Amino acid sequence: MVKVKDKGLEGRMHVFGAIVLLAVAAYYLPFLTKYFWIVTLLLIVMGAYMMVYEDNDKDKK
């Protein structure tokens, strides 16, 4: 992977891409819509956890 100095922007792009993919999947697969919010919440929680974890890892060095 390419190292990006602006971790915030990189993180936002990953979240944005994931949300777009979920929106497209929900649009084409209406019967999965009830899982849409569960998956979105999981992605947001995982994204937030990874951001905090990376920040803590950066502080240790």
Q: Which two tokens stand for residue 44?
A: 């947001």
2 belongs to a structural domain:
no
Q: C-alpha distances in angstroms, 41 versus 6, 15, 36, 50, 57?
A: 24, 11, 9, 14, 24
Residue 1 lies in a domain: no
Residues comprising the chain, all counted = 61
Asked, for residue 42, whether it belongs to a domain, the answer is: yes
pLDDT at 1: 46
Q: Is the pLDDT of residue 46 over 80?
A: yes
The pLDDT value recorded for residue 33 is 64
The number of distinct structural domains making up the chain is: 1
**Average pLDDT value for residue range 4-8:** 57
Domain that holds residue 32: 7-60
Q: List all residues 6 or more positions away from 40 whose beta carbon is below 8 Å from its beta carbon.
A: 19, 22
In the predicted structure, residue 3 carries a pLDDT above the cut 60: no
- Does residue 11 lie in a domain region? yes
- Structural domain contains residue 16: yes
- 7-43: pLDDT as tens digits: 666 667 777 887 788 777 767 766 666 677 778 788 8
Averaged pLDDT for residues 40-58: 77
Has residue 22 been placed in a domain? yes
